[in-house]
Structure 1
């Protein structure tokens, strides 16, 4: 028996939009972005459809943040399985992932140095749009409005390149930070998702900036308890 919730065409469209945004930027869209993308006259229409999806158990809404939309694990599993069926390929990597959990990073040393690894965490591969290389424990609330909170575990894929608008892990001198990448003609800006924090401007000739990775998912700390 198929227990998959029956969605209207519009609800499926919004679910696809949320999934695409997470895969592309590492964060879900805002209500305003959904409304603009689908031609709604107000954000209230987007909110009503999101509430309907939440009632059907497809997504989880997190209060107090404009990007507080979470795909439930059952939804991610269903999406993964539907993709496999569509392309008629065997399910990739049924085995679980064992990822190092990185805590506080010491100045000037590699992010995956052994002394930074608090523990290893076993996770399901289908939770992530891209395969992560490690988990980073989030410190602070500078990315609150992207739904990334203090104590969360950010799934990170190691890379030296990222697209404009993606959420990245960057090293600035002695500090490792999580921010949204913005490339401008004047250089690079690292944007917080909390009005209490200021953007960080990186000059084009800066030797203190290094891209460490791309955010590909998020695990609430209490999900591991």
Structure 2
């Protein structure tokens, strides 16, 4: 069972992960919960971990993984939410797995569509998706590691701050955070070892934005 505060925090983390591709900072969680100190957030996260709703990846900053979301039940007390601790069999959807994308240096765009990846249906919303395998370490501070498979929602539009697949000059593709600067586009890495790349908007085509991530251990 979860308290209302635990439930609210879990939903906030899940929403932030889906929108940005990485977990919120402790300051962002503290502000969202209306708390004065981070210690309250630490206690809530520990409680969510103990109950099997959240996993914290230690030794990496901003690395939280939502394991499951709770189910609301009307008959429960108003401050309690019951979670389902049994994993149910999920339907899966196959999406194209195009190949490796550079998260360090841009590489030639991959055109191979012969491979596919099975994704739990409830991981995807409406729209078309594809997957790419990450090569490199330039997005590690966003929780994206070498060898991860990123789930991309196809779109030619993106909001400032979203992590996107960008096609440059119709021959290079890279995974970076997008920032608009007038008629220019900044492609920002999430690793201090790499420099931001500035590209004229007319040379860049957005191929989609980050919708999820799969990691094999």
- TM-score interval, smaller chain: 0.7 to 0.9
Answering whether residue 160 of structure 2 is matched by residue 172 of structure 1, we say no
Q: What TM-score does the superposition give when structure 2 sets the normalisation length? A: 0.78
- Measured after TM superposition, the shift of residue 162 of structure 1 is 0.9
Pairing 1:9-88 to 2, within 5 Å after superposition = 9-72=4-67, 75=68
SS of the aligned residue for 1:23 comes to helix
- Partners of 2:10 and 2:181 in 1: CA distance: 31
Which structure 1 segments of 5+ residues have no match? Answer: 1-5, 83-93
SS of the aligned residue for 1:122 comes to strand
- Partners of 1:22 and 1:124 in 2: CA distance: 16
Pairing 1:139-218 to 2, within 5 Å after superposition = 139-173=135-169, 174-185=171-182, 187-204=184-201, 206-207=202-203, 209-218=204-213
- Partners of 1:19 and 1:97 in 2: CA distance: 21
In 2, are the aligned partners of 1:130 and 1:216 still within 8 Å (CA)? Answer: no
What do the CA deviations read for 1:135-193 (whole angstroms, capped 9, x no partner)?
10011111112211110100011110011221111123443211122223463222222
What do the CA deviations read for 1:115-143 (whole angstroms, capped 9, x no partner)?
x3462222211123555521100111111
- Partners of 1:24 and 1:122 in 2: CA distance: 21
**More helix, by proportion:** 1
Runs of 4+ in 1 over 4 A off after TM superposition: 129-132
Match of 2:83 in 1: none
**More strand, by proportion:** 2
SS of the aligned residue for 2:46 comes to helix
In 2, are the aligned partners of 1:67 and 1:147 still within 8 Å (CA)? Answer: yes
CA RMSD of aligned residues (A): 2.5
Distance of aligned partners of 1:37 and 1:95 in 2 relative to their CA distance in 1, 3 Å threshold: closer
Which structure 2 segments of 5+ residues have no match? Answer: 74-89, 102-106
- Measured after TM superposition, the shift of residue 13 of structure 1 is 1.1
Match of 2:133 in 1: 137
Q: What TM-score does the superposition give when structure 1 sets the normalisation length? A: 0.75
Distance of aligned partners of 1:158 and 1:145 in 2 relative to their CA distance in 1, 3 Å threshold: same
